[in-house]
Amino acid sequence: MLLFIGAVIGGSIAVGYNNHQIAEIQEELQDANTVNINTDQPQTYPDLFEQVEKSVVTVNSFEGEGRQGSGFVYSEDGYIITNYHVIQERENIEVTISDGSTETADIVGEDPYTDLAVLKIESNDLRPLELGDLNEVEITEPVIAVGNPFGFESSVSSGIVSQKDRLLPLQGGFSIPNVLQTDAAINPGNSGGPLLNMKGEVIGVNTAIETRTGTSSGVGFAIPVETVERVVPELIDNGEYEHAWLGISGVDVGPEIADAMDLEENTGFLVAEVVEEGPSDDKIIQGDRSAEIRGEETLIGGDVIKQIDDQKVRGIEDVLVYLARHTEPGHQVELEIIRDGDRETIDITLDSRPEVIEQDNEE
């Protein structure tokens, strides 16, 4: 729209405007193209980078082999967001801000289950980034990733949101739901840096890559801003975040499982194992026999979860998303299950996930 209007005005200038009028019009055009940090309109890449570069930091640890990642300013009073795996099992952390100065950082809180951590520095000249709205994020919309890949500070890569609602597995059998996938190049050192929309809002925290070479292959993942908004305040206030937990594991129901168990529908989550003394112990029945499913031996015969409260369950991701968004330890949920061909409902009081899991991200 600006280009079209400018072209029309430019044609008029050539026809009959005086120098004073030309100057006024040029000034108006310049103002129209000036970056407004609070604007809701998309920006150009140069304007966007100028807006956000001073809010992205380098996170370093020099213990052992050393480790470098990225982070970004969350608040003016010195809170910095990064990935848990960047500072995992580290005590001496340093943060370098945009003016080149380096400060020792305190670890305020960390959550291995969402791969998020909060640091604190004493600088009083910080520009926090705005958080976006995950509901407004659209597949194929343009994004940029800012960080320090391979130690190259303040690097920018651009791409699109390739997909939403990915499930990112962690060691220990847990997964992060709602993860964003992007083809913006994310490499070692980008971890903890922001994934931004074209308004300069954080829509994710870059955290992992899918690769066979150790470098970007066009498939990167970012923890969604919705998770940041939910977890970070708790990390600041309490140093940790308690996740609600059912204490079960299993597989999504597909055609092979439906056939093997004589199920009418091939959706739902099949419980293969129940954690002993967990919240579902003595409530949910686990698999009692083995079958070859997709070439692997799988426990079948257990309960199939079809609904949690009013949320239909197509697979484990629906369960994880519901637990994350709507529950906390101590809450009671109602599960609709299929047991031995019959539909039943059971109530389970959720517990907290067990102690910290080990994590070993390549990125």
- Contacts of 91 by beta carbon, 8 Å cutoff, 6+ apart: 63, 107
What residues pair up with 308 in beta bridges, in sequence order? 311, 335
In the annotation, is 115 catalytic?
A: yes
Angstrom distance (rounded) from CA 345 to CA 139 = 36
Which residue type does 46 have? P
In the annotation, is 158 catalytic?
A: no
Q: How far is CA 139 from CA 64, 143, 239, in A?
A: 40, 10, 34
Q: Is 89 left (phi over 0), alpha (psi -120 to 50) or beta?
A: left
Is the Cβ–Cβ distance between 43 and 199 less than 8 Å?
A: yes
Collapse the DSSP code of 177 into the 3-class scheme (helix H, G, I; strand E, B; otherwise coil) and give the result. strand
**Catalytic one of 47, 55, 61, 85:** 85
**Catalytic one of 47, 55, 111, 115:** 115
- Contacts of 18 by beta carbon, 8 Å cutoff, 6+ apart: none
**Catalytic one of 55, 61, 162, 191:** 191
Is the Cβ–Cβ distance between 334 and 346 less than 8 Å?
A: yes
Angstrom distance (rounded) from CA 155 to CA 183 = 15
Catalytic residues: 85, 115, 191
